[in-house]
Amino acid sequence: MIERSYKITSVEGLHARPAATLVAAVTPFTSEVKLEYQERQVNMKSIMGLMSLGISKDSTIKIIADGSDEEDLMAVVDALMKTEGLATG
């Protein structure tokens, strides 16, 4: 199991589009992946779960991946966060 924390820098937070981008990116992996925010954890492959957190700019989140391809999954998330300007690690 691996974890990583991020601080959200995208002005629209993790609403709608950024949420959709992240969900679409992690869905193909077999590992389980959770996103933690203010002591709540949701399945990161769930667009509605992610949206229900209402994560806004400057929030700190933690991503927890667990499974055979967890390293690859985290690398993809990390790259997306940076190239899309969503968060800093």
Residues at the interface with other proteins (CB under 8 A): 15-17, 19-20, 23-24, 27, 42-43, 45-49, 51-52, 54, 56
Annotated active-site residue 11? The verdict is: no
Q: Residues 15, 25, 37, 59: which is the catalytic one?
A: 15
Residue 86: closest CA among 28, 32, 37, 22: 22
User: CB of 58: closest distance to other proteins in angstroms?
Assistant: 14
| Least gap, CB of 56 to other proteins (angstroms) | 8
Residues with a known catalytic role: 15
